[in-house]
A and B are shown apart, each in its own frame.
Chain A
Amino acid sequence: MSTLLQDIESKISGAKTTVAKQNVGIVREIGDGVAKIEGLTDAMLNEMLDFGNGVTGLALNLEETEVGAIILGEYTSVKEGQEVRTTGKLLQVPVGKGLLGRVVNALGQPLDGKGPIKSDKSYPVEKIAPGIVKRKSVSQPVQTGIMAVDAMIPIGRGQRELIIGDRSTGKTTIGIDTIISQARLNKAAEASGEKDYRPLYCIYVAVGQKQSNIARVISVLEEAGAMPYTIVVSASASDSATNQYLAPFAGCAMGEWFMDNGMDALIIYDDLSKHAVAYRQVSLVLKRPSGREAYPGDVFYLHSRLLERSARLNEKSGNGSLTALPIIETQMGDVSAYIPTNVISITDGQIYLETDLFYQGVRPAISVGLSVSRVGSAAQIKAMKQVSGRIKLDLAQFRELAAFAQFGSDLDAATQAKIERGKRVVEIFKQPQYNPLSVEVQVVILWAVQNGYFDDVAVDKIKDFQNKLTDYLTSRKADLVAKIQKEKALSDALTAELKAVVTEFKQTYK
């Protein structure tokens, strides 16, 4: 017995407590949410720094004698002479399905008053994009529900499609419509128990926007029942520039979790012009050298590293995808400004919205000539390809001819027919906001236009004709719509059936 006591006593006396090494520094300067810290010789780039009292910072500038750090959240409590510690951790945000339906800030903390986020995993905010070996080319469509986009500028899962235009031309609306469309598709697939359908989860990142605008977007999403499939990351105009700079990266990390786990996600950055401005502010207070328009030299890298993280992974890597819809606001339609050209060159195409078209009543105000999708056509379903093949070219030709026709009244029959067809196509593509159409209905309408069923309808009656045809299809001919959805292509038999259905509708239309 005594040996036992001796044994454990000797073991206990031999036990040594270890003291962990810490790296500390002293705040020398603080202002504008940026601190200059002396010491911190072991700090890593983008490492989280602990300022005490729950205040965290992010080391962004590593200099010879000091570290420049941005403070996340409230910085007024940080004082000169205060001690700062390294944490050995990079900035992380919570990820996972627990975030769906929530509104969070740039650090993943809830803003909606619905309690803590249920998430046991977190991802670093800055991450290297998936490499070449892990990727494959875009092959599945993102159905935006906007006919003009789905027919002419198709977007595939894993693509990066820029939405660009002046202020109030409907840029955000395209993003919101896409989210609503995904929610409807996800819900329909859940209800029908379709196994092959891959739900598309959405992340909406609001950068530097008015809080009233963000609140409106959230209420629209809630009304449309899209919130259960959506995460909203908010860094409003009243948030610090550091939070505005981090928000897109935080949203991207949340999207990456879906991609890495074999799911599909869509992220909307609204908007990257304000993000660049926030980054410029952070860089200038960090005293980084400025370049063109006072933006720092790495403003291109800022957006390229963010957008490169959107990818389509191959089957070996889980088959997930992250689609990005960055938004850029131009000034007076100038697409050749610094930030717009940067982002245009990074993305796989752009949807250009024009003010003139918007005020002419063409909404969505998509400029056919300047909008392009470089990879999306590979992702279109076959039926859509069959009916939309020439539509973009026809519409571009129509715009040219319409301008030409203003000067002379004598036009040959073929030109006249082209102009008349063009006018009808323009009408067809007008679509009210928050009202996405299913791809099957789009196919039928486009097929009817291509085959001249709209030609003898007056231009001002086109919309009415289209709406009634849509109602007729969804209520009375749901089986035909279902067939197109199933086959995803227009076979001869289906075409014959379509012909019969549209002819029958035309006879009854008044």
Chain B
Amino acid sequence: MKVTKQSRRDAKALFRACQVNGVLDENRVRQAVDEVLEKKPRGFAGTLSHFVRLVRLEQARRTARIESSVPLSPELQSGLKAALEKRYGQGLHFVFGENPDLIGGVRVQIGSDVYDGSIRARLDGIYEDFKAA
């Protein structure tokens, strides 16, 4: 679907209105979507599709995905949470997951930042180095 410039502008304005102190407010988001669907202004479909994209990107930016090969102990989890909140500020959403492919170590992704301390990443690095040489 073609999203017009006006729809994009409207979506951006809607998105800004849903923020409280720079953090996205879930209630406001729901309320805004309900309101738009009810009133159906011109080009609302495009506006909402761009709005969804902005919300998705914002959520990804505030979500820390932590993957490890084995489940992390609660102490380690809280330690990680504290360290990440110190760097990225309060209000992060944490998702812990298991990924045996990593072999060992931890991979953390927040938005587009990735801290990959897994054994898999190091092996891949060595492989690339050999291939380049």
Contact = CB atoms under 8 A, between A and B. Distances in A.
Interface of A: 17, 19-25, 38-42, 65
B57 A42 contact: no
B116 A19 contact: yes
Interface stretch (B24-32, B34-42, B74-82, B106-114): B106-114
A40 B112 contact: yes
B115 interface: yes
Contacts, number: 33
Contacts of A25: 112
B50 to A, nearest CB: 9
A22 B57 CA distance: 18
A19 B122 CA distance: 10
A41 B57 CA distance: 11
Contact of A23 (B54, B60, B113): B113
B16 interface: no
Nearest to B106: A19
B54 A17 contact: no
Interface string B54-75: 1001001000000000000000
Contacts of B115: 19-22
Nearest to A64: B12
A57 to B, nearest CB: 15
Nearest to B122: A17
Contacts of A19: 115-117
Interface string B108-131: 010111111100000000000000
Contacts of A17: 117
A272 B117 CA distance: 48
B114 A23 contact: yes
Given A19-B115, A65-B53, 16 more contacts: A19-B116, A20-B115, A21-B115, A22-B113, A22-B115, A22-B116, A23-B113, A24-B109, A38-B57, A39-B60, A39-B112, A41-B111, A41-B112, A41-B113, A65-B54, A65-B57
Nearest to B54: A65
A86 to B, nearest CB: 9
A24 B115 CA distance: 10
23 contacts: A17-B117, A19-B115, A19-B116, A20-B115, A21-B113, A21-B114, A21-B115, A22-B113, A22-B114, A22-B115, A23-B112, A23-B113, A23-B114, A24-B109, A24-B112, A24-B113, A24-B114, A41-B111, A41-B112, A41-B113, A42-B113, A65-B53, A65-B54
A21 B109 CA distance: 10
B121 to A, nearest CB: 9
B116 A39 contact: no
